[in-house]
Amino acid sequence: MVTALAQNLDLRQAAARIDEARALRDRVAGEALPTVGAGVSVNRRRQSENGPLPVGSIPGLDATQTIYDAGFDAAWEADLFGAKRRALEGAGARLQATEAEAQGVRMRIVAEVARTWFNAVGARYELHAQQATLDTLQQTWELVRLRHALGDASAADVEAAYAQWTAVNALIPDIEARQRAAVLSLGVLLGAPPERELALLDSPLAPSTLRALPVGERADMLRRRPDVLAAERRLAASSADIGVATAELFPKLSIGVGGGFQALSTGDWFDASSARFSILPMISWRLFDGGRVRAEIRAREAAERQAALAYEQAVLAALGDAERALVDYHSGLDTLARRGMSLDAARTSYGHARTRYAAGDIALVELLAAQRSLHEAETAAARAHTNAAVQLVALYKALGGGWDVSTAAPTATHPLRGATAPLAFSSR
């Protein structure tokens, strides 16, 4: 899972968007601070003696001058009506929305890796079930051949036993193909060669327990959903934009300060008598602009209404997703439990049928029917476990992730293996 999160391109793009949003917020924060500049210049010029202002012809004044200047200037605009404060609020909210969207990408990747892994493991469970059935049918076929050699079974019985073995054997390539496809998909998600995932599947099957989940209150679930959090933060940003636009209706106060040294020779450049200084407070007020500011305010208010509707839609969608996922998962657990009971009954029935056939109390057709029922029950149980695990992943996404299944009481174990270890998810 760590590999998938580290190498996934979608998540890396999301991280870049976070960096962009953080830089934009820092830029807005910097706009509330004074700007300070400094400069040094040397300006050599000659005044005209015949121009409209014949400064160069004034007696005692050198027409050619070199002016040395060094100084600084600073400017600051007071945030009298909260424009800069609201702009910073909006930028911060957009950063939080971007972070929530990145968390959604992260959660989707975790869920997709888990779903693909469960499909691969489920195919392997099913493959083991098919192999176990083949072993049982092989034993039956050999038993029928032995009885045929002793004259207690017909050639038709031998052919029937062999036909059932070949029918089950023909299902294996399709299951192997499904497992291979899931492993290849997993390799793409992890950005790694599929051989490593195949090696993991070749290790002993790890037991797994599907559990009832501590869902909690709806409010807690909504706080975990990245899409809901992102929509709420977008709404907050839109509200802040209204404040920024409204502040344009009011006066602005700015203060400019400048100072430095100016002289006609380098020797006098930094004398006290060469110092210069200026301060310029200014109030500006846009009295007429053709209605542009009020139109901007109306546009921002319309954008806020859109964001509010998008937030409401996200909440309703989240609640709907959670309800559907809960129903599907609980239904999957119920199906898994029922399939487990059906498998137990099929195993018992097959054991009795095999004993009775060996004793000559029933015909081969009844034994083959019991084997068919056992095979169907094993296949259905394996698929029910895979479906329940995949539904657990869907529930994880719908509830916003962030919980640990190991905190809940177990409700169903894998019917083919038995289980003790829980399945756990976390996107954090």
pLDDT digits 0-9 by tens, 126-171: 898 888 889 888 888 888 888 888 887 888 988 998 999 999 999 9
Domain boundary among 284, 309, 333: 284
Q: What is the pLDDT of residues 297-338, one digit of tens each?
A: 999 999 999 999 999 999 999 999 989 998 999 999 999 999
Is 57 a member of any domain?
Answer: no
For residue 141, being part of any structural domain is answered with yes
Which domain-ending residue is among 284, 299, 331? 284
Task: Provide the token pair at 363.
Answer: 């015909």
Q: Which residue, among 425, 350, 352, has the nearest Cα to 395 in the 3D structure?
A: 425
Q: Are 277 and 258 in contact (CB under 8 A)?
A: yes
Mean pLDDT over 267-272 rounds to 84
* Token duo for residue 138: 């092989």
Mark whether 93 and 237 lie in a shared domain. yes
Residues 139 and 229 in one domain: yes
* Residue where one domain finishes, among candidates 284, 307, 342: 284
pLDDT (tens digit per residue) in 364-416 = 889 889 999 999 999 999 999 999 999 999 998 898 875 554 444 334 445 55
CA distances from 421 to 2, 112, 162, 212, 418 (A): 21, 21, 39, 14, 10
d(CA 188, CA 186): 5
Give the C-alpha separation, 125 to 420, whole Å. Answer: 17
Q: What is the dihedral of CA 262, 265, 271, 273, to 10 degrees?
A: -60
Q: How many domains does the chain have?
A: 2
User: In this structure, what CATH number is given to the domain that contains residue 273?
Assistant: 2.20.200.10
Task: Say if residue 181 is in the same domain as residue 259.
Answer: no
